[in-house]
A and B are shown apart, each in its own frame.
Chain A
Amino acid sequence: DIVMTQTPSSQAVSAGEKVTMSCKSSQSLLYSENKKNYLAWYQQKPGQSPKLLISWASTRESGVPDRFIGSGSGTDFTLTISSVQAEDLAVYYCEQYYDTPLTFGSGTKLEIK
């Protein structure tokens, strides 16, 4: 199974600040034939179901604010929130879909100071 490792496990930032969180996979998620990275990011707010933010490592879903930026390739990926808002309080998960079983990271909890 592909293991997904997210760091940090939690972080606290003030509104307006930039935040980055990391997701590393135990093997490359870059498919050579189409040059795409098979990675998605989700946001789970307290008491809610997860919400898909980004697929293909950097493609935002419709309606997702442009302050959410996905980047990276191969085994190292980053989710950046360029200017954190109070409503971004959530746990963020990465997911690899390069191979089954589909696997998630353990999450990064974002707290607002």
Chain B
Amino acid sequence: QVQLKESGPGLVQASETLSLTCTVSGFSLTSYHVSWVRQPPGKGLEWMGRIRSGGSTDYNSALKSRLSISRDTSKSQVLLKMNSLQTEDTAIYYCTGGLRANWFAYWGQGTLVTVSS
């Protein structure tokens, strides 16, 4: 069955770079699109960006200058890197996937990232 699992550091210092990994199973990254969505504690959802099944990427313009999404198909992993972190980047980070690029059929459990000043 389709599964996505996020991993990475739970605590990052302000101004540093966040690296998260989404490991998927049950589907191929060359068939499914994968997005990253984040949610500050107690708040709503924000789409960060995606890597399409063909390998192209799209980013939220609000984050584009700080964000990079890539993948390693041999490891079934999607990688997120975001630099210059601030305390307002504290959030649960979800990876999501699906056959459609534009909505989110499958979700990981999420990983909480706290940015410390």
Query: Chain A contacts of B44 at CB under 8 A?
Result: 93, 104-107
Most buried by B among A49, A51, A93, A107: A49
Task: Tell me whether A40 is interfacial, beta carbon within 8 Å.
Answer: yes
Q: How far is the CA of A107 from the CA of B45 in the complex (A)?
A: 9
B47, A42: Cβ atoms closer than 8 Å: no
What range describes how many residues of B lie at the interface?
10 to 19
B47, A103: Cβ atoms closer than 8 Å: yes
A37 to B: closest C-beta gap in Å: 12
B84-110 interface bits toward A, Cβ cutoff 8 Å, 1 = contact, 0 = none: 000000000010000010111101111
Q: How far is the CA of A95 from the CA of B41 in the complex (A)?
A: 19
Task: Tell me whether A101 is interfacial, beta carbon within 8 Å.
Answer: yes
Task: Tell me whether B1 is interfacial, beta carbon within 8 Å.
Answer: no
A12 to B: closest C-beta gap in Å: 19
Query: Chain A contacts of B100 at CB under 8 A?
Result: 55
Q: Which of B35, B46, B61, B110 contacts A104 (CB 8 A)?
A: B46
Q: How far is the CA of A42 from the CA of B105 in the complex (A)?
A: 10
Q: Which residue of B lies closest to A39 (CB)?
A: B103
What range describes how many residues of A lie at the interface?
20 to 34
Task: Tell me whether B28 is interfacial, beta carbon within 8 Å.
Answer: no
Query: Chain B contacts of A50 at CB under 8 A?
Result: 45, 94, 104, 107
Q: Which residue of A lies closest to B46 (CB)?
A: A104
Q: How far is the CA of A81 from the CA of B103 in the complex (A)?
A: 21
Query: Which chain A residues in 73-113 approach chain B with CB under 8 Å?
Result: 93, 95, 97, 100-107
A42-54 interface bits toward B, Cβ cutoff 8 Å, 1 = contact, 0 = none: 1000000111100
A55, B108: Cβ atoms closer than 8 Å: no
A76 to B: closest C-beta gap in Å: 19
A51, B47: Cβ atoms closer than 8 Å: no
A104, B45: Cβ atoms closer than 8 Å: yes
Q: How far is the CA of A93 from the CA of B102 in the complex (A)?
A: 15
Q: How far is the CA of A38 from the CA of B101 in the complex (A)?
A: 12
Residues of B within 8 A of A (CB): 35, 44-47, 58, 60-62, 94, 100, 102-105, 107-110
Residues of A within 8 A of B (CB): 1, 38, 40, 42, 49-52, 55, 61, 93, 95, 97, 100-107
